Amino acid sequence: MSDTPDKTCWPDVFVFLTAGIAVALLIGKVPGALPVMRVELGLTLFEAGLVVSVYSLIAALGGVTTGAMAARFGSRKIAIIGMVMAALGSLAGSYATSSVPLLATRTIEGLGFFMTAVSMPTLMIRASRFSDRQKVLGIWASYMPAGMGIMLLTGALMVERVGWSGVWQIVAGAIFVVGLGVAVTAKRYPALEADKTKPVTLVEAISVLRLPGPLLLAVTFGAYGAQFLIIVAFVPLILVEQGGWSVVAAGMAGAGVIFANIIGTIASGWILGHRVSRAQLVVATSLILAVCASVVLADQLSPVLRLTAAIAFSAFGGLIPGAMFAGTPVHAPTPRHISSVNGLMLQGVAIGQLVGPTLSSYIVEKTGQWSSALFVIYPLAVLAIVAGLKIAKLEKRSS
């Protein structure tokens, strides 16, 4: 098969997208199960926090290295190994009886998740013609909100029916089945295997850290990711504490906010294909997000209005990850470095999502006002805008 097919194989693209959605279930399965797990496993609040945040810790420490592995050994091979690890980790975790084995298996899941997540965009690029690649990578950006949203909507109900361990097993089965589909489909793209005559070394793969383009993509994605998680984490709390909503209703609303993100991720490829630059998209979106966040965190406004603003924040916000993923083939020095750039972006967003919500929660707790979180969100929006403008200069110079 040639490096660039004459037409996009959409069925293959959606198989690879399904793989991303399947592993994203691993992240979304926790919130609905955590209350039951704390009781059954005797988890402390700190341990429960680790169960949630271990994925971000893994990505923050090793996102680029994981991408370099895909560049060195081949995206197809790393993706399949990653899905096997993710499925086995979830299955083994279902038998955990205390925090230690649970966290150990969550770590295995996390490694499998990131091996899959950094590999799939390369596979999707190989299945698409050049003119469709921005659209395809915009679609790929929907994998996280889709997978998380599905589990947030169904997780609590599933826990009631089959228990948290049953949920872990169902997710493991789903990943395994999708992984079989990926293994069969990816055979049609042998060019994705590491170049047998001159395989890229890990040092060469990690060399993307020295390039301004990939770093700026990571900074932009990280600044956005921090803002997104602040809003997503705070909205259910605002609805419960200030709106008097039930926990279930607030959780459903939170899932709706996450699902809205899919609108932007899919639209980003279409917008970029209509002579709107990546930088223009980032700058305009960052300004819109700052306005939406101001409404979400305004203590004097009604909860319904604040929820509406959160949905708008998420829908418009999806434009940024779509634009960033579409930028990976533009800023990767060679096609073999795309996985490394994807890994760097995931590392950037993980760092942002570790620092942003932690800092904003501390400030809100000290001041007693949700609006105080804007002291974190506004600088993040400015950072995204500055990075977006620098991306514009780079892309203008290379065009």
The tens digit of pLDDT for each residue in 147-179 reads: 998 998 888 789 889 999 999 999 999 999 999
Whose CA is closest to 388, among 222, 274, 253?
222
Place of tokens 């399949």: 80
pLDDT at position 88: 97
The tens digit of pLDDT for each residue in 92-113 reads: 999 999 989 999 999 999 899 9
Query: How far is residue 266's CA from residue 13's CA, in Å, rounded to a whole number?
Result: 14
**Do residues 179 and 26 make contact, with C-beta atoms less than 8 angstroms apart?**
no
The pLDDT-based confidence of 197 (bands split at 50, 70, 90) is very low
The tens digit of pLDDT for each residue in 225-276 reads: 999 989 988 888 889 888 888 877 888 898 899 999 999 999 998 898 888 8
339 to each of 78, 106, 134, 183, 388, how far by Cα in Å? 10, 23, 16, 18, 21
Residue, of 104 and 204, whose pLDDT is higher: 104
What pTM does this model have?
0.86
**Do residues 59 and 346 make contact, with C-beta atoms less than 8 angstroms apart?**
yes
Place of tokens 């993710």: 86
pLDDT at position 189: 77
Residue, of 247 and 302, whose pLDDT is higher: 302
Query: How far is residue 135's CA from residue 272's CA, in Å, rounded to a whole number?
Result: 8
Ranking 179-183, 343-347, 370-374, 381-385 by mean pLDDT, the lowest is: 343-347
In the chain, the N- to C-terminal Cα span, in Å, equals 28
Query: How far is residue 116's CA from residue 82's CA, in Å, rounded to a whole number?
Result: 5
Domains of the chain: 10-398 (1.20.1250.20)
Q: What percent of the chain has pLDDT over 70?
A: 94
The pLDDT-based confidence of 195 (bands split at 50, 70, 90) is low
The pLDDT-based confidence of 67 (bands split at 50, 70, 90) is confident
pLDDT at position 204: 65
